[in-house]
Amino acid sequence: MFLPTTEKELRQLGWDRPDIILVTGDAYIDSPFIGVALVGKILMAAGYRVAVIAQPEVDSGRDITRLGEPRLFWGVSGGCIDSMVANRTATGKRRHRDDYTPGGANTRRPDRAVIVYANLIRSHFKNTCPIVLGGIEASLRRIAHYDYWSSKVRRSVLFDAKADYLLYGMADRSIVELADVLQSGRDPRAIRGLCYAAARPPEECLVLPSFQETAQSKTGFLRMFELFYQNNDPVTARPLAQQQDSRFLVQNPPAPYLSTEELDQVHALPFERELHPWYRRFGEVRALETIRFAITTHRGCYGECNFCAIAVHQGRTVRWRSQESILAEARDIAAHPRFKGVIQDVGGPTANMYGFECRRKRTKGCCQDKRCLYPEPCPALGIDHRPQVELLRRLRQIPGVRKVVVASGVRYDMILADRKHGREYLRQLVRHHISGQMKVAPEHCVDKVLDCMGKPGTGSLLRFRELFYQLTEKEGLPQFLTYYIIAAHPGCTREDMAALKRFAREKLKLIPRQVQVFTPTPSTWSTLMYWTGKNPFTGTPCFVERTAAGREKQKQVLISALVDRKQAPGDRERAKKPARSGRRGRKGRRGGKTGSNL
């Protein structure tokens, strides 16, 4: 069933009022990929009455008041994407399209959505029950943070929104604890994964440089972020405090990660995999194309790319569902009346991190002095692709499933590091699980830029490319690689982009089309570099292109070659080779899944 979103639905359920109302910047899609739907179903399973108000009008009270006032709390989320990222391009222009809005027009999600929605609630419900912020927008803005769109350091969003509490991370454990505590009338301030305001910090807190200091001093901002990042592991994190005005933000340590059994229970909850009928009348939602029949296998990422926020939001320790849980979901998908035989994705933040982890991390937490994959994969990680090879084989055998696509990103350096099973995993992907093209993300080729990104060098990329085309030729499939590139990342100059163009022509035999300009988003190392102009790992200055025109010119250095050269001869010839097996891959589309909760 859908969570109710109208007064009529409340009456049909026999509810006089909801216990919890979740407000979101996305349309209400009932899918495990949508955070509000996921935590709503978790709360329902825990016995609470949960309703949803999606994309409320902000210039009237018509939407926000239609369900009345909840009994326990309001849950406020900007949606699956930070609202500023959803609404603005990397050069600051307003986006016209929104993949999470019915009809696709970007007219329903306000800038700084969690602040706007919290203020909307306060304006229509005086002295209301607690307002609780969550989702990726709140999670990454929970401390003082650099905001690219205003080009300044902003306070915690908890203070700017004048909310009562903030739940960070995936929040599926902590939100039930919060509901239980509020139900019993107890004080929620001991809940892990919770942020709140206090007159003074608890004695056990590690006190960060204040908001005022971080706003005035880039050195103070750097010190704050390093302490913040080091205290994001549930095993080792200390409680943090940061003075914002006359009060302190207090961040409790992260909630413990869900076990495999708990993840299985979450994904066994029923989902419609559809847009709620009340919102369907406004048009289709494009995001459904990539998530309706996709499956999440795991959470977290130990890749720790410096421009990515997954490590802060989902965590650096990977945890996964059992194969039986995943297979059960695939069988449910196969029985869906709209299913046409293709499971659109099987993966997570990085597809080939399923089923193994460093044993040390589970008991002692993440290493503070080194990373799992950079500059080289750590031997202690024990990279093993056997679990996913077996999972994919079993998924292919489900009646009604004719193709299983792995559309999530794949770390090619991990495939090469797995000397026992990496080649077989790639062979299975080539033979069964890509749709004409395989997407990889080298992001750049210049070593000093890759160092700023926390990405491996080009040696592993070229070895992987050679192996991929060996296997495609052996399988007789007309498939090829596509490459994602970032322009204007800290440390990158126009000369570096020119070097990238030469590398692409000479070594990759094509000019990548998937080029995006770096967008500084809160709570990432790359944004820290953008704001401070320093590489925090070396302490040395790094070049930062700050002008919109200069950032766009870096992108144009690469893509201008497409005017005269749509595709290099080497890869065009590969793509036209006849398929010996008679099978033909289909060109895929990059997915829009985030895995962000609340």
**Joined tokens for residue 269:** 């909850």
Q: What tokens appear for 76 in the block?
A: 């406020």
Helices marked H in 384-493: 386-396, 412-417, 422-428, 447-453, 458-475
> Exposed (0-12), middle (13-18) or buried (19+): which is 282, by Cβ within 10 Å?
middle
Burial of 549 (0-12, 13-18, 19+ CB in 10 A): exposed
Q: Return the SS3 of 485.
A: strand
Cβ contact 515:559 at 8 Å: yes
Give dist(CA 354, CA 386) in Å, integer.
Answer: 9
Give CA angle at 423 (458, 513), nearest 5°. 45
State how far the Cα of 261 lies from the Cα of 325, in Å rounded to an integer. Answer: 9
Pairing state between β 345-347 and 480-487: unpaired
- Residue 517 pairs with which residues in a beta bridge? 487
492 is in an annotated binding site: no
301 is in an annotated binding site: yes
With vertex at residue 306, the alpha carbon angle to CA 387 and CA 85, rounded to the nearest 5 degrees, is 100
Q: Is 305 annotated as a binding residue?
A: yes
| Alpha-carbon span 586 to 331, nearest angstrom | 23
| Cα–Cα distance for residue pair 7/20, rounded to 1 Å | 14
Q: Is 45 exposed, middle or buried (0-12, 13-18, 19+ CB in 10 A)?
A: middle
User: Strands 480-487 and 437-443: what pairing?
Assistant: parallel
Contact in structure between 556 and 496 (CB atoms under 8 Å): no
Cβ–Cβ < 8 Å for 407, 290 = yes
Residues contributing to the annotated binding site for [4Fe-4S] cluster:
301, 305, 308
Residues contributing to the annotated binding site:
301, 305, 308
